[in-house]
Every structure is written in C-alpha cells, then in structure tokens.
Structure 1
Amino acid sequence: METFGTALVGFAALFAGLAVGSGSLAVRWPWLAVPARHALHAATLLLAAATFGLAQAFLAHDVTLRCVVESSDRATSPGYLLAAVWAGQDGSLLLWTALVGAALSVFVEGRSRSGAEPGEAGRAAAFAALLVLAFASIVLLHSNPFRPMLRSHPADGLGLNGLLRNPLMVVHPPVLFAGFAVVLVPAALAAAALVRGPRDVGWVAAARPWALAGWGLLGLGNLLGMLWAYEELGWGGYWGWDPVENASLLPWLASTAYLHAATTAERRGALLRTAAVLALATAILPVFGTYLTRSGIVASQHAFAETPAADAFLRLLSVLAAAALGLLAWRWRRWGREAPRVESLASREAGAVLTVLVLAGMILAVAAATLAPLLGRWFLGGPLQVQPEGYARFMGPLALVLLALTAICPMLAWRRTAGRRVASAVVVPAAAGLAAALLQFVAGGPAGLEPTAGGRLHGYAVFAFPLAACVVVAAASDVVRALRARVREAGGSWSSAARWLAAAGRRRLGAQLVHAGTAVLLAGFAGASYQQTAQGMLSPVAGTGDAAASTLTLGGYRLTYLGARDAATAEYEETQAVVRVDEPGGAAYLALPSLRRYRSGTVRETAEVAIRPGLLEDLYVEVRQFRGAGSAPAAYVRAHVNPLTSLVWFGALALLAGGLIALWPERAARPGGAARRGGGGLTYAGLAAGLALGIGLWKGEASAALAATGAVLLAALWQGGRATWGWAAAREGVPDASRSGAAGPPDRSAGGPSGGGAADGAADAGASRGSPDAGASPGAPSDPGEEP
C-alpha cells in the first residue's frame, strides 16, 4: 500500500501541474482549457482514491504503514478506525487536500458549463490546480501518510488517543476541512476579479452560494468541536480559547464579515474592496491556523508536535499573503474611485460597515491573543499568556456591540432611513429588551441564580439578555411586517402569505433566523457568569455512615457518593463512581462518571463525565481521582451547574439552519403569483441528513453520523456547483453579471426593485414594488429576497 498510495498522490500532483500549464496557455490557445479541466478532475479523483486507500489500510490493520501503527490497533472499533484516518497530521492533511480538489473541481466544472469564455475557464482551472498542486506537494514531500513503518512496534499498533474516541471525532474534522476547502472558491473569484481589473460585482453573486456553504460548514465544525470539548475535556465548559480552537474560529468570523460586506456590495455596490479583502483572508486564515497547530510556536492541548510540514505551510502562507496583498494594492485605488459612498449613518450600508468593523476587531484581537506567547518573546524578551478570562474581557464588549447592531440594522433602509419610520419599527423590540432587563433584575439572573464571579454580575450578562431579546423580537417583527404587507398588497390569507414568503423569500427568512440564532447563542454564553461548582474527596456513604463526608450540594442539587464499580470492554477498563443525584424538584437518578483506562493509545486515561442536560441548566459531574483499594475507594468528585447551556446549542443550530435556508435557491416567481420549485428536493435531503446527523450523535452511532455528514457535504457541493453553473441566473432570466462586464448593480433602496445578482432570490412579480423613496419603510416587505 505504501508504494501504491504514494504513487496516487504523486500522479495527482503531476496532473495538477499539467492543469496549471495547460490552463495558463488557454488564454492564447483556448482549446487547452478542456484538457486543463480534465487534468484537474483526474488529480481530484487520484487524491480521493488515495484517501479511500488510506481508510482501507486502517480498516485492514495494515501495520506496514507508520500512521496506521501510530493511531490505531486491532481492538479499535471500525467507526474509530475511520476517525484514526484523520486523527494524525498526515492523514488529516491528505483528507484536506482531497476536499480542496473536490471543491475546486466542482467550481471549475461549473464555470465551464455556465458558458465562460475558454480563456477564463482555463485561468480558473490553472488557479485551482495550482492550489491542489501546492497541497499535494506538501503531502508528498513533508507529510506522506503512506510512509512505511521502519522501527519495531507493537504487533497490534499503538492505538488511538483516548480523547479522540468519541463519535463526534468521526465527523468534526471532515466537516471543518470541508469548510476550509469550500471557502477557497470565493477567494478564487475575488482574485480573478482583481486580475481582470474593472470594478465588477458579478463575482460576489457567483461566490454567494460557496461563501454560505463554507460559512455553514465552518460553523458546524466549530459546533461539533464545542460538543466534543464539553463531553471529553472534563472542565465543565465548551470553549477554552485554545490556539487550535481559535484557528478554526478565525476563518468563520472572517466568513461572517465577508457575507455582510458581500450583501452590501450586491445591493448597493459599496464595500466591494472590503468583500475582496475578507474573501482572501477567509481562505488564508486556515493555512495560518494549520501553521500554528503544526509548528509548535504556541502551546495547545490539541496541537500536533512540530513537523517538517510546518515550514512548508509557512512558505505557502507567505506566498498566498504576498499574492493577495499584491492584487489588492494593484487594484485598490481603481476600485475605490468607482465605489459609491455611504450617504447616511441611518442606513443599512452604515450598519454593514460597523458590523464588519466589529467582526474585524474580533479577528484581530483573537489572533493577537493567540500569538501573545510569540509576540512576547519577540518584543518583551519573554512569553505572554492570555488566559480565557482575558479573552472574555475584550470579546464580551465586542459581542454586545454586535448584538446591538444586529438588533438595529434590520430596521434601517438602504441609502438612508426616515427617523419616524425607525421609531415606529423599534418600539416592539425595545419593549422586549426592557421586559427582559426587568425580568433579569427581579429574578437576579437566569432561573433566579446568583452570579458567581466575585459576587457581582458580569457587565456582559447584564446587557446580553436584553439585547438578545431585542434581536429575536426584531427578527420576528421583520418577518411579520413582510407577511402583513403581502396580505395587504396581494390579498389572501396569512397562510398563503407565509407560503409565498417561504417560496420567494428564503434569503430573508434565513438571514433573520441567523440573527435570532446568534442572539440566542450569545445569551447562552452569558449563562457562564452563573456557573456554580462544588468539589471534594468523598467517601462511600455505606462505609462511613457520615452523610457529610459523602455529599456535595450546589444549586439545589444534592450529590451522594455511593461507591465505585468496575467495567471493561475489549478497548478499555473503567472505574465508575456511583453518585445519587437528588434534584431540586425531588426526583433522583444515578450519575456514573468514570475514569477510563484504554489498553492502548498516546493518552490512555480519560475522565468520562456524566451530563444531565436541561432546558435551563445542565448538571455536569466528573470524577478526577480514586483513592484507596477494594470496592469502596474514596473519590474526588467535581460538579458544575451550567445555566443556559441549552441556549448555546439551540442558538447554534438555529444559526446553521438559517444559513441552510438562505443557501437554497428561492422559487422563481410567476405572473399569477405561483412559484416554481427550485432545489426543494435537495432542501429536504439536507434537512433529513441534518436530522440523521443529530440522531446519530445523540445515540452515539458513529456510522450514522458519518453517513449523514457525507450527505450534507455532497449536498453543499452539489448546490454550490448548480449555482456556479448559472442555474440561478437561468431560472430568473438574469444574465451572469460576471460575464456581462457590468460596473456595478443598480441602485436598490429599500422598497425599490429587488435584485442583487444571479444568486439573489427573485421577488414575487405580482407584489407591489413601491417607489425607490430614500426614506422607505425599513426592511421593506415587498422585497422578500432582501437579506438584512
């Protein structure tokens, strides 16, 4: 397998090189665009074959390969053998490279089928193949997973790291790597627009489905990582601001900022330069994060050991950053001269500018804090370390500003907004925020809990709940305004208006659901201000007869240690602490936290926690140590009451569901008011796959979770390809702006005609459009495709 696998990667690099050469020459000889595209597809298929071959080597326990020996053994179950493929740095890089090839192949094929000029198609193939060649070369020269095992080793292998034996690790890395791959497409389109020269917003519309898919995959990957940390790391939280966590958060923040800038560029032609910067940054940040995790320059409990591939990624990072800066510097002045200006602070353009600035501040702050050890050595002669509390000090205020903007911006119109219109729109959300603040003051916090941070309520928690209530109600109000306007303009019932909005306004619905989910998520983060913790060395109640020496109490819960019991499987042995939990309402149950000792692996002992999830709070119980022999050892038990953790998960799921709704194309309007289906089957397939993913993770079925994740990834790639092929433009009868050479979109003030490019959903043709009054009603409902 070592020779065959290495040959597959080598031939993939060769075909990618051929695609680069022939695609570059297609500008002069257009017929070369076809072999360039086919060579890129061949490279992608070879990389996919190499990845499947590596997976087969793990499933067959091929101990002639070094990575198989280091990350698995014969006792590892098949599901975790798949996780072992990307548990090591070599296998994970091969998977990432294969996904890069898949995303870029779909993109290039789509550009070709959309009728792009052969020269343009050849350039797209050359650029995509150059990226594939770079990644494949790093795999081949510095991180080859098919290297043979040359030293002595256990006959069964060293085993998988115990912390990675979790069903979430079967799906978390592939989803994250898929997100890293997909965000390369908007960057490629931005780079191509910069190379062409004229200020052209057409690339923004073409990039939209890819940007949304990449944003959603990155968000889902981060969510799965949070769930894994909550279950496996045993400290009672889900985000520790570890450098590896930050490396996956930064591209998602950049992608979020890009979507806001791109929406403004589509609607008004403003922020186009900013959109290009953010598209390129979103693609470069994963390479930056990979360098951090593989170079050893920052300490992390998730990072790999220092590897020769780190130097290669540093060179790739330098080349990508230099190329991006060069292109931006080349076209910056020209694009700036042609850009429309923000006319009023009371406009949606101004809100988008402020939102992008806040998100950029988050990116810079997190990056600087992550690099603090390195920066301290450079400038202060010694390392600095920013603790999680330090991150909270600057991220909390920025998150509050972001919440405030999210509440206000949907009430603003494009260009400028009449004050009386804003005043009328803000009444209900402001009342909701005031009611939430009053309720919080009366109750003393969520569920009546007292704050635990030094006896005072954090400023973040004081403002987060009222602002979150404002955002949720503002989002709901915007949807209600759209429904009311439809009923008034077209007649009919509210149910028919809802069907119309669901068909022709998915972009608007998705955006509002994303905003509401973000608010709920950030409110859930505020619940950490009320976390309660109790811990102690407990003796079994039957052995001492002293209830005080066997009991912990916190938050109305009473935990009594009853004793310990042993369990074993083929993979591990464990000692469970039997803890009876008496809940505040009088109910009782047994919690079984344990210390698990795996028979193999680099990390052999793990603490398995017992979590009792609830709508208002979770009870989180862990055992850290057993002392004494026999059947009744003393146990060091630690318990946490984590308020509002459920809001974090619900908010994240709502946020991702909103992105999925916004990604799927809206139905084209017909003169009679009916709507033709567009992508409905894929919508249901994506939702079904998401449901299967949730059930698989809930039940701990790694295979079901993996299959559902594969369906989600294929659906995202397929939908991105359909949009790139010009399907959305064809169904609306709108020419592809990227080929028309248009200098910018028409002026779209609120209440004016809908538009925004090929990927922007069509509004109902029978709806009254109104006049492009600069002071039009905020969030004009006659434009269902409008994305706040």
Structure 2
Amino acid sequence: MYLIGNISIYLGIVISLYGIIANIVGIKKKSSKWIESARGAVLSLAFVASIASFLLLYLLGTSQFQYKYVASYTNESLPIAYKLTAFWAGNAGSLLLWAVLLALYTAMVVFSKEKKNPMMPYVSSILMVNILFFFTVMALNANPFEMTDKIPADGKGLNPMLQNPGMILHPVTLYMGYVGLAVPFAFGIAALILKRMDSEWIKLTRRWTLLAWLFLTLGNVIGGWWAYLELGWGGYWAWDPVENASFLPWLTVSAFLHSVMIQERKNMLKTWNVSLIILSYILTLFGTFLVRSGILTSVHAFGDSNLGTYFLVFMAFMMLFSLYIVMTRYGLLKKDSSPIEAYFSKESSFLLNNMILVAAAFAVFWGTMYPLISETFTGTKVNVGAPYFDKVMAPILLVLIVLMGICPLIAWQKAVFEKFMKNTLWPLAMGVATAIILFAVGVKGIYAIIGLSATSFMFGTHLQEFARGIGARRKATKENVLKAAFKLTVKNQRRYGGYIVHIGIAVIAVGVISSHTYSTEVLKTVDAGNSIKTGDYSLKFNQLTEHTKNGNGIVVADIDVTYKGKDIGKIKPEKIFYETWPEPSTEVAIKTNWSQDLYVVLSSWENKDKVTFMVKVNPFVSWIWMGGIIMVIGTAFALIGGRPTTSRYQINKGISRVGG
C-alpha cells in the first residue's frame, strides 16, 4: 500500500510534466501525434489520481494507523462515514482531493466534443501545470501516505466540530467550485495566447463557469448551515477569514457571469471579462493559501502548516504569468471592442452591477487582510471583526438588491425613461406597500425596513417579468397558464433560470436582514423545575442526565417547550465529551418553523439541578436555507438551458491551426 500510494504521487508529477512537454512539442511542430499523446497523459493522470484517492479512502476506512494521516484524523470508534470524510480533514488529504478533482475536470474538458479545438492543447497544459503543483507539494511536504515511526494502538480521532453531515458536503462542494474555476481561466488564457479576441472562449466555458458558481454557492450555504448547527454561537456567518476567502471568488464570478452577457451580445468588456476570470481563479488560490498558511486566526485554518509558502509562490507565478499575457494582448483586446452607447441602458446597469460586486470583494478582502497588513507595517495587530463587515457590506448589498430589481426593467442599447418608469410602477408599489405594512404592525429598525422593502421591490420585478412573459405567450398561443409558464421557462432557460436565482437571493436577504436585526438572546441559569421565558416561548428545565455512546460521554438537558401557551414538545441540547479531544462538543437543540428558530445551547452547569442555557429566537433563518435551495434550482435550470455552441473552427482544420 505504501509503495502504491507513493508511486501514484510521483507518477502524477512525471505524467503532468510529460503532458505539458508533449503539448508544447505538439504546438511547435503542429503534430497531432504529440497532441494525442498529451491527451493520453491527461487520462493517465485522472487514473493515477483516482488510484491514490481510492487507496487513501481504503486506509482510512480500515483504520490503518501505521499511516500518519490515518492516525491523525481517525480512530476505531469513529463512524465509517466520518472515517471516509477524514480524507479532506487535513492538509495532505485535501491536497489529494484537489488534485483528483482537477485531474477529472481536465479529462472531461480534454475529451469533450471540443477536443479538436485549437485552444485545447493550451488549456490542457495550463490545467496540468496546476495538477503538477499539487502533486509536487504532496511529494515534498504533505504526503498522505507517510508512515508513522511507531504504530499507535488507536488514532487521535476527528475534531468533534467536523463530525457533522456538513463535513460530507461543504468541503467537497467548495473544492469543486474552486477547481471548476481553473477551466474558464485556462480557456481565457489560451484564447489570449492564440490572439482569439472574440467571445468563443466564453461560450465554450459558460456551463463550466456556471457549474463552478453553483458549487461555490452550495459550499457557502452549506458552510453557513453547518456553522449554525455545530458552533453553538447562534449565527451562520461570522466573517471569519476563511469564510471570506470562499465568498471572494463567489462575488467576482457573479460579476463575470453578468458581464459576459454584454460581450456575447454587444462585443463589449473584453478586457474586463478576462481580468475578472483571472481574478476569480487567483482568489481560489488565495483562499487555499489562507487555510494552509496559518497567518490569520480561523476555526477553519490548518494552523500548524507551512504549506502557505508554496501556495504564495505558485499564486504569484500564475498572477505574473496572467498579467504578462494580458498586457501583451491588451491592444488586441481593445481593438474592435464596442463602446457603451448610452448611460441609461442594460449594458450600463450590468457594468454598475459589476463595479459594486468588485467593490464588495475589495471591501471583504481589505477587512480580511488588514490585521496582517497592520501587523507587518506597524507591529500592532488590529482585529477587524463582524461590526466592520456589517457596516461596510450592508449598504453595498442593499444597492445590489435594488440593482437586481432595476436591471430586468431596462432595455438594451438605449432605454426610454418613460417606459422604464411604467415598468417600475408595480414592483415599486410592492416595495412601498411592504414598508407601510411593516411600519403599521410596529416593526422597528429603519435600516431593516428599507432592506426588506428593497427586497420586496426586487422580488416584485421578477414576479412581474414572469407574469408578463406568461401573458405574452398565452396571448400568442392561447395556452392555459400552467402550460404557458412551462413552455416559456423551458424555451428561455438561461434567462428565467437567472430570475429564479435572483428570487432565491431575495429569500436569503429576508432571512439575513430579519435574523440579524430582530434576533433575541437570553443567557440564564435555572434550577430544575424552573422556566426561561423569551418572547412567546417558555422553556421548562426538567433534568440533566448523562450517558455514553461510542465511548463518548454525553450530558443532555431535558426541556419542555411551550409556544404561546401551547405545548410543542421537548428539546435536548447536549455536550459531548470525546476521549481523544480536550474540549467538549456543543450539540445545539433547534425547533424551527417557517418564521423563526428556537435555538438552545447547554452552556454550563454547577450540578445536575443548576444549569445555564443560552436561548435565542432567530427570525426567518430557515429562509436562508430555502433561498439557497432556490438558487441551486435556478442555476441548474440555467445550466441545462441556452443554445449549444460549437466552435467556429472546424474539426478537420483543428490540429493544423494549433500553432495559430
């Protein structure tokens, strides 16, 4: 096993090098044989990376503690699901996960229907440079198949915070988003190298970019859900440096997905679009650097790692390489690029949307890195916490919501103000009505009311767009409402998939604004038989009990809950004590409905009859998870929609034009 694992890693290095060289030779000599050989190397890489991955999964699942990685992240009592997910619990395994995902992505790209495209050898080489980096780092610094000096009787086990279903989903979806962005980056650089300044590379990578954005969205939403359930502080997003690192490429890719529509339709923003995809790719490396460098304090970071140096060097190399390619092609990018004809147009609104998304990314980046910058130049580390991010990001996100409500109502090329105002009438009325209703029922918080009203306006815009489209189709075809709605969305999946995503964002916005502004918290010590009251809830503490499960000690509080005087059952918050871990794990008890969550944490106890609880009532938190699901549905809908694009370069001309 040891031999096979190590051979697979070193083979990964050799095959990656060979594939890059074969592509270069094939390009120089215009040789289809060398290009075909490089394509075979990609397939071999996917095979070798898969063998290494299956081997590590086997070692983890069978508790082979002679391997340092297995002993560090598993033990005998760990459930099999978490033994396997320990694959990405540490540095070495997560690097292998990145390598195998990237190898599989590369194989799918290289063997796609566009495999004869002249850009493909360049794309393949760029992706294999990334694969080479990960295999090299594993060989030099983080080998998942490294042996222990002495075989322990049992392993250390997995961090209790990682023993959650979120561990199965969150890292993988986030990594698939990170890895997926390497594909449009590679196509963008390949197009620049070949001096093909049209939008072909954008059309070829539209689905790859959407897929990466989908996984980034899933990763961030699942991460928030996991934090809410597991960390026990009552929130879902703490503006932690590593949380921010995964949010940054999501913001820039969101901007890219909007601005590429302008290039496809109007031949505009060529330099901007290629810069955005390069920035998004670099930010995925930056996020990985933050996790592995230990330079910033984070519950997610691998603080004992020195891998940050490798990632910093590789990130700098790829950044300088990309900058050089862009600068040498800058004149061609600007050539034949159409200007924006009118400030009041959909093109201008999309560009403004882009500027705000990039501004949001910069604000998050600055707040994340400022402690390090401050310490470097002044010697004093200044902490930047949630208050900074809340204060800076709230107005930015409010403007984005308003823009999402305005953009669909503005025409391409040059909009007519009178027509725009007419289109805005009903959504604006919906937003104003929301504000009036909130004031009338006594809701406090002017900023929250403004945010909720803006969200209502945005939702109204998209509802109106669906209604108008259905109405126009019914008028033309005489179809019933359901059939017209189905046909309309199926025939315009890209457009209406985007609208569904925006509706999901509106639902999330309601959850975020409400839970952030109107949540209540009580921290109280009670004796057995006494109650805690908060809002419409009454919680009667009955008793504290202890038992063991899988060798772990569990302390459970038994609580009866009533809502508005009506019994709604029991909740049982817990503390779990692990033999292999110094700190107990908090298991939150949550009762949820469509409008609010009752969130109870067992904080501490003096004895079995005197216990301290943290009780929170979080309004509309479930809307955040529901909105995430809606966004995923909309993205999947847009992903399978749109017209298939074929390269304007014919297959029979393919390899002869590789040297371009």
Q: Give the TM bin, normalised by the shorter chain.
A: over 0.9
Give, in whole Å, the separation in 2 of the partners of 1:486 and 1:569: 60
> Take 1:650 and 1:358, find their aligned partners in 2: how far apart are those partners?
25
Residue 429 (structure 2) pairs with residue 431 (structure 1):
yes
Secondary structure at the counterpart of residue 403 of structure 2: helix
How far apart, CA to CA, are the structure 1 residues paired with 2:635 and 2:128?
29
Match of 1:357 in 2: 355
Counterpart of 1:659 in structure 2 is 635
1:516 corresponding residue in structure 2:
503
Residue 566 of structure 2 is aligned to residue 579 of structure 1: no
Q: 595, 599, 608: which is aligned to 1:620?
A: 599
Alignment partners' CA distance in 2, 1:736 and 1:478: 33
1:309 and 2:307 correspond? yes
Partner of 2:578 in structure 1?
598
Distance 2:650 2:293 in 1: 42
Q: Tell me, yes or no, if structure 1 residue 40 matches structure 2 residue 5.
A: no
Q: What amino acid is aligned across from residue 155 of structure 2 in structure 1?
A: G
Q: Tell whether the 8 Å contact from 1:514 to 1:659 is kept in structure 2 after alignment.
A: yes
SS in 2 for 1:537: strand
1:559 matched to 2:539:
yes
1:88–1:258: structure 2 CA closer, same or farther, 3 Å change rule?
A: same
Residue in structure 2 matched with residue 530 of structure 1 by the alignment: 518
Q: How does 1:163-202 map to 2 (within 5 A)?
A: 163-202=161-200
Is residue 257 of structure 1 aligned with residue 255 of structure 2?
yes
Aligned to 1:608: 587
| Cα separation, 1, equivalents of 2:481 and 2:158 | 56
Query: Structure 1 CA distance, aligned partners of 2:266 and 2:113?
Result: 25
Distance 1:342 1:571, change over 3 A: farther
- Per the TM alignment, residue 199 of structure 1 is displaced from its structure 2 partner at its CA by 2.0
Which runs of 4 or more aligned residues in structure 1 lie more than 4 Å from their structure 2 counterparts after TM superposition?
737-740
**For residues 49-68 of structure 1, what are the structure 2 equivalents within 5 Å?**
49-68=51-70
TM-aligned CA distance change 1:209 to 1:112, over 3 Å: closer
SS in 2 for 1:576: strand
| Paired residue type of 1:417 | A
C-alpha distance in structure 1 between counterparts of 2:596 and 2:461, whole Å: 26
Report SS of the residue matched to 1:301: coil
Task: Give TM-score, length-normalised by structure 2.
Answer: 0.95
SS state at 1:160 partner: coil
Across the two proteins, how many residue pairs are aligned to each other?
A: 648
Q: Partner of 2:560: helix, strand, or coil?
A: strand
CA 1:571 to 1:331, structure 2 compared with 1: closer, same or farther past 3 Å? farther
Give the corresponding residue for 1:474. Answer: 461
Farther off after superposition, 412-421 or 427-436: 412-421
**Once the 2 structures are TM-superposed, how far is the Cα of residue 738 of structure 1 from its aligned partner?**
6.9
1:413 Cα deviation (Å)?
A: 1.1
Q: Give the Cα–Cα distance (whole angstroms) in 2 for the partners of residues 363 and 634 of structure 1.
A: 47
Structure 1 residue 97 displacement after superposition? 1.1
- Is the Cα contact below 8 Å between 2:242 and 2:300 reproduced in 1? yes
Equivalence for 2:620: 644
Which residue identity does 1:123 align to in structure 2?
Answer: Y
Q: State the 1:600 CA deviation.
A: 2.1
Determine the C-alpha separation between the residues in 2 that align with 1:503 and 1:170: 33
Quick one: which amino acid aligns to residue 517 of structure 2? S
Unaligned runs of 5+ in 1: 451-456, 542-549, 669-727, 730-734, 741-788
Is contact 1:253–1:363 with CA below 8 Å preserved after alignment?
A: yes
TM normalised by structure 1 equals 0.80
Q: Amino acid of the residue matched to residue 583 of structure 1?
A: Y
- CA 1:65/1:430 → structure 2, altered by over 3 Å: closer, same or farther? same
Deviation at residue 490 of structure 1 after TM alignment: 4.0
- What is the identity, as a one-letter code, of the residue corresponding to 2:135? A
3-state secondary structure, aligned to 2:329: helix
Superposed displacement of residue 662, structure 1: 0.2
Relative to 1, partners in 2 of residues 1:238 and 1:571: Cα closer, same or farther, differing over 3 Å? farther
CA contact (8 A) 2:367 2:384 kept: yes
Q: Aligned to 2:264, which of 260, 263, 266? A: 266
Alignment map for 1:68-87 (pairs within 5 Å): 68-87=70-89
1:151 Cα shift? 4.5
Query: 388, 400, 403: which one pairs with 1:402?
Result: 400
On the 8 A contact 1:264/1:270 being kept in 2, the answer is yes
Specify the alignment match of 1:124 in structure 2. Answer: 123
Deviation of the 1:268 alpha carbon: 1.3
Equivalent residue number for residue 647 of structure 2: 736
1:462 to 431, 449, 470: 449
Q: Aligned pair in 2 of structure 1 residues 361, 635: CA closer, same or farther (>3 Å)?
A: same
> 1:604: Cα distance to partner?
4.3
Q: How does 1:739-750 map to 2 (within 5 A)?
A: none
SS at match of 1:587: strand
Displacement of 1:111 in angstroms is: 5.7
Query: Take 1:291 and 1:444, find their aligned partners in 2: how far apart are those partners?
Result: 47
Deviation, 1:127, is: 2.0
- Counterpart of 1:98 in structure 2 is 100
Larger RCO (CA under 8 A, 6+ residues apart): 1
- Percent of pairs with identical residues: 28
Supply the distance in 1 between the matched residues of 2:477 and 2:26 (Cα, whole angstroms): 52
Change in Cα spacing, 1:128 to 1:589, as seen in structure 2 (3 Å) is: same
Any idea what SS the aligned residue of 1:80 has?
A: helix
CA contact (8 A) 2:255 2:353 kept: yes
Decide whether the 8 Å contact of 2:360 with 2:393 is kept in 1.
yes
Note closer, same or farther for the CA distance 1:111–1:371 as it changes in structure 2 (3 Å cut). farther
- 1:599 deviates by 2.4
Structure 2 residue identity aligned to 1:607: T
| SS of 1:110 mapped into structure 2 | coil
Distance in 1 between residues matched to 2:416 and 2:32, nearest whole Å: 53
Question: Partner of 2:316 in structure 1?
Answer: 318
Whether contact under 8 Å (1:230, 1:236) holds in the other structure is: yes
User: Which among 370, 373, 389 is matched to residue 372 of structure 1?
Assistant: 370
- Looking at structure 1, the residues matched to 120 and 166 of structure 2 have their Cα atoms a distance apart, in angstroms, of 39
AA paired with 2:531?
T
Give the corresponding residue for 2:227: 229
- Structure 1 residues 515 and 738, CA gap change in structure 2 (3 angstroms): farther
Distance 1:558 1:493 in 2: 49
Partner SS for 2:117: coil
Task: Report how far residue 392 of structure 1 moved.
Answer: 0.3
Question: What CA distance in whole angstroms lies between the structure 2 residues aligned with 1:403 and 1:738?
Answer: 41
> How far apart are 1:265 and its partner, in Å?
1.2
| Distance in structure 2 (CA, Å) of the matches to 1:431 and 1:108 | 51
**How much is the aligned-residue C-alpha RMSD, in angstroms?**
1.7
User: C-alpha distance in 2, partners of 1:419/1:665?
Assistant: 32
The alpha-carbon deviation at position 7 of structure 1 amounts to 0.8
Does the 8 A contact of 2:519 with 2:617 survive in 1? yes
Amino acid corresponding to residue 589 of structure 1 in structure 2? G
Aligned position for 2:656: none
